[in-house]
Structure 1
Amino acid sequence: MIEHLISGEELQEFGYFMRKKGIEELIFYSKGTTSLVFLGKFQGKKVVVKLEREDTPRKNFKREAEILKLLEGHDITPELIDYGIFRGKEYLVREFAEGEPLLYADVEKHHLIEIAKKTHKLDVLGIDHGQIQGGKHIIIGNAVWIIDFEKASTRRKPKNLTSAMAMLFLNENVISKRIREKFRINDEFLVELKKALKEYKESKNVKKILTLISSL
């Protein structure tokens, strides 16, 4: 499945390299544009291991590792375990986010509130995720996690919460249609949300948005 991207010898060597780092039971999980993704265990916890692809169009793991360090202790994204270089390729290890991507998950009201709170916290921290609107980088489980900060930036103006609210309620997409139907959202709610978001852009005060979501 991945033989054209990494040789059997290199894969075996990477597994040995990871074991020396304390990462056990490494198995292939998926492939992305920039990385090969593996699952493993570290000190009894499930982890994700991303290894840079040979044909990657960009190197982003160092930046992602720096962003994850900034987010430590904020309960927004799973903790960074390790970052480094293997055979000239970057790799990154983080705790696994249990749950389903928002795109496929059955969303409850408390999930919507948590998404608003965590995207607001990102805004306050000055970090723009850059890919919130796709729905694949928000994981819904016992907790809500935001993952994959490869394209995140501290230089862009953060718009995480406004992007999330547009995706959840305002835009025409699979996620918003499902949520509007489930919570029987009417035009009055959408008008009030647009007003609250306009105010938020100026004040960064999330209270009105949280109050609106809580009323669903």
Structure 2
Amino acid sequence: MFDHLIPERIRKELLRELSGLGIEALKPYSKGTTSVVFLGKLGEKRVIVKLQRPDSPRDNFRREAEILEAISPFGISPPLIARGRIGNLSYLVREFAEGEPILYAELKKRHLFQIAEKTALLDRLYLDHGQIQGGKHIIIGGDVYIIDFEKANWRKPNNLTSAMAMIFIGRNAISERVYKSFNLGEDFREAMKSALRVYKREGKLSAVLDVLATL
């Protein structure tokens, strides 16, 4: 699948290095503009291996790995397992986030609270994910995880507001499903807008949690 993107020498070196870490059964998973992604196994756990594409215009993997290490104590994203370089290409390995992207998942009340709490925690860490509203980077399963910090940076954050706007304020496939599932109306949308204004002005997460509690 990735043969035309990754030279054979690089593939063999990557397999050798990952094997030394105990990672096996590597298979192609997805590709982006800057990376190719493999799925593998480490014992009983599934892992994601992200390798920089040789034709990538930038290498964001070092920063992403540093970000994952910094937030690892908080359970926001699956833990980083390893990082390194094969030749001049960076790679990182993290545990696989079991579940479905929010774009496709059926959301329960507990998921919505977890999303609010974890995005607010990112805000308090002053780490802006940068792609929350895309609908592909919040994974819903036994836990809620936020993944792919490739474009994240330490800057003025907008994580919780972006997440709540995607789920409750905007009119999209996610919000339509949530409004139907919880039988919500415009009064809820206005209440969430008001709570987000309080959050942006005063930093009070409780304003948002109080609205979620009415679900």
TM-score (norm 1): 0.95
The AA in structure 2 aligned to 1:177 is E
Q: Structure 2 unaligned runs (5+)?
A: none
The AA in structure 2 aligned to 1:103 is L
In 2: Cα distance, 1:4 partner to 1:27 partner: 15
**What residue number does 1:180 align with?**
179
Kindly provide the CA deviation profile for residues 154-205 of structure 1, in whole angstroms up to 9, marking residues without a partner as x: 1x21110000000001112111111112112111111111111011012211
Partner secondary structure for residue 73 of structure 2 = coil
Q: Does 1:202 align with 2:195?
A: no
Q: Does 1:28 align with 2:28?
A: yes
In 2: Cα distance, 1:149 partner to 1:116 partner: 18
**What residue number does 1:87 align with?**
87
Partner secondary structure for residue 17 of structure 1 = helix
Shift of 1:8: 3.6
Over aligned residue pairs, what C-alpha RMSD do you find?
Answer: 1.2
Shift of 1:9: 4.2
Kindly provide the CA deviation profile for residues 35-90 of structure 1, in whole angstroms up to 9, marking residues without a partner as x: 11011122432111000001112211011011111101101100111111111100
Give the number of equivalent residue pairs. 215
In 2: Cα distance, 1:203 partner to 1:83 partner: 38
**What residue number does 2:76 align with?**
76
Kindly provide the CA deviation profile for residues 94-129 of structure 1, in whole angstroms up to 9, marking residues without a partner as x: 111000000011111111111001101110111100
- Matching of residues 141-160 of structure 1 within 5 Å: 141-154=141-154, 156-160=155-159
- Matching of residues 41-80 of structure 1 within 5 Å: 41-80=41-80
Moved over 4 A (4+): none
Partner secondary structure for residue 71 of structure 1 = helix
The AA in structure 1 aligned to 2:181 is K
In 2: Cα distance, 1:164 partner to 1:10 partner: 38
**What residue number does 2:15 align with?**
15
TM-score (norm 2): 0.96
Shift of 1:7: 3.0
**What residue number does 1:117 align with?**
117
In 2: Cα distance, 1:34 partner to 1:149 partner: 13
